[in-house]
């Protein structure tokens, strides 16, 4: 006998979430997913004093689910989908196409930035850096912020989910990275020219966004970035998954303990260095020259 949906008790269930022991049919699952995003937005006052948000869309399942959920969410908040074409051979093109198709279906016009217009791509970065994910993060943060300033955006929303957050925290607690622990939270307020950032999917697991994107047939790229192969963060995610198999709500408990206890405590005790303006590009920097300008110089020297 097929299992029935725990909510409508009528239709057959297609999704089972182990951490909550709930079963959902397609319709109830989508409603549950959207409700949870709305509750997260409200709980952490993410859209307060916000009239224009930039949603960073990568072409993956998480940011696609986020954009689809928030498109048409409110007449008071304008949404600007933003995609960075990183120029990763055999991968970036698929990502860009998925974003374009998704936006077309949602009636939104995406803003697409091609890294190659800077004179280099992630392929050049990967030749220089053994672990390209860290410079890739610098590039993405820089352009998300720069475009947000230019477009007068109040807040940047990213598709980081619970699994992403727990992976970062797991490593931060292991190594005692107090700054990372202190700044890992659902919403970071704006500091000067550093536009605020929020993660409306911070309470959704990897699997929850995968189910939502698949059920709603959203265009997204299934393949992983070729530069992520063998990365430590993927290995850590696998380890966390093993723990969650024995303790199904491990990730949720970790996040809530972090947010209730350690993050506020450490945020009070840690002071981030005051921000300056990069002397080359004028963007916020913790040193004389920002990390993006340093990275760009290093790559261009060798290309």
Which residues of the chain form contacts with ligand Q46 (CB under 6 A)?
132-133, 136-137, 225, 227-228
Smaller CB distance to ligand Q46: residue 141 or 179? 141
- Nearest distance from C-beta of residue 225 to ligand Q46, angstroms: 3
CA distance 23 to 46: 29
Residue 295 sits in the site that holds Zn ion (CB under 5 A): no
- Nearest distance from C-beta of residue 141 to Zn ion, angstroms: 12
Q: 236: number of CA atoms within 13 Å, CB side? A: 17
Binding-site member from 140, 183, 237, 280 for Zn ion (CB under 5 A): 280
CA distance 114 to 126: 17
- Nearest distance from C-beta of residue 291 to Zn ion, angstroms: 8
Query: Which of Zn ion, ligand Q46, none is residue 281 near (CB under 5 to 8 Å by kind)?
Result: Zn ion
Task: Dig out the tokens for 266 from the structure.
Answer: 């450490």
- Nearest distance from C-beta of residue 224 to ligand Q46, angstroms: 7
Query: Which of ligand Q46, Zn ion, none is residue 278 near (CB under 5 to 8 Å by kind)?
Result: Zn ion
Smaller CB distance to ligand Q46: residue 230 or 273? 230
Query: Which of Zn ion, ligand Q46, none is residue 293 near (CB under 5 to 8 Å by kind)?
Result: Zn ion
Answer yes or no: are the C-beta atoms of 275 and 266 closer than 8 Å: no
Smaller CB distance to ligand Q46: residue 133 or 182? 133
Buried b (16+ CB within 10 A) or exposed e, 190-219: eeeebbbbbbbbbbbbbbbbbbbbbbeebb
CA distance 281 to 248: 47
Answer yes or no: are the C-beta atoms of 283 and 145 closer than 8 Å: yes
Query: Which of Zn ion, ligand Q46, none is residue 133 near (CB under 5 to 8 Å by kind)?
Result: ligand Q46
**Who contacts 202 (Cβ-Cβ below 8 Å, separation ≥6)?**
40, 160, 161, 162, 165, 186, 255
Residue ranges binding Zn ion (CB under 5 A): 278, 280-281, 290, 293
């Amino acid at each position: 006998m097929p299992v029935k949906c725990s909510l409508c008790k009528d239709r057959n269930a297609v999704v089972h979430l182990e951490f909550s022991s709930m079963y959902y049919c397609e319709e109830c699952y989508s409603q549950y997913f959207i409700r949870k995003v709305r509750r997260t937005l409200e709980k952490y006052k993410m859209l307060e004093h916000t009239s224009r948000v930039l949603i960073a869309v990568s072409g993956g399942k998480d940011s696609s689910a986020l954009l689809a959920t928030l498109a048409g969410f409110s007449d008071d908040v304008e949404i600007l989908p933003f995609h960075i074409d990183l120029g990763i051979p055999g991968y970036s093109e698929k990502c860009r196409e998925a974003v374009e198709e998704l936006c077309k279906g949602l009636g939104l016009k995406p803003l697409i930035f091609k890294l190659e217009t800077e004179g280099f791509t992630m392929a050049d970065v990967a030749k220089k850096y053994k672990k390209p994910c860290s410079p890739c993060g610098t590039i993405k943060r820089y352009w998300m912020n720069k475009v947000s300033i230019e477009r007068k955006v109040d807040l940047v929303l990213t598709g980081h989910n619970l699994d992403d957050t727990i992976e970062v925290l797991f490593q931060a607690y292991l190594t005692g990275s107090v700054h990372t622990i202190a700044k890992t939270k659902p919403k970071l307020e704006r500091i000067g020219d550093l536009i605020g950032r929020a993660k409306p999917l911070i309470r959704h697991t990897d699997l929850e966004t995968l189910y939502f994107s698949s059920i709603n047939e959203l265009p997204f790229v299934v393949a992983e970035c070729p530069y992520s192969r063998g990365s430590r963060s993927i290995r850590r995610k696998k380890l966390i998954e093993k723990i969650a198999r024995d303790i199904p709500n491990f990730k949720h408990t970790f996040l809530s303990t972090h947010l209730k206890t350690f993050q506020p405590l450490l945020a009070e005790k840690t002071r981030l260095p005051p921000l300056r303006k990069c002397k080359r590009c004028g963007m916020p920097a913790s040193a004389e020259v920002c990390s993006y300008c340093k990275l760009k110089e290093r790559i261009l020297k060798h290309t």
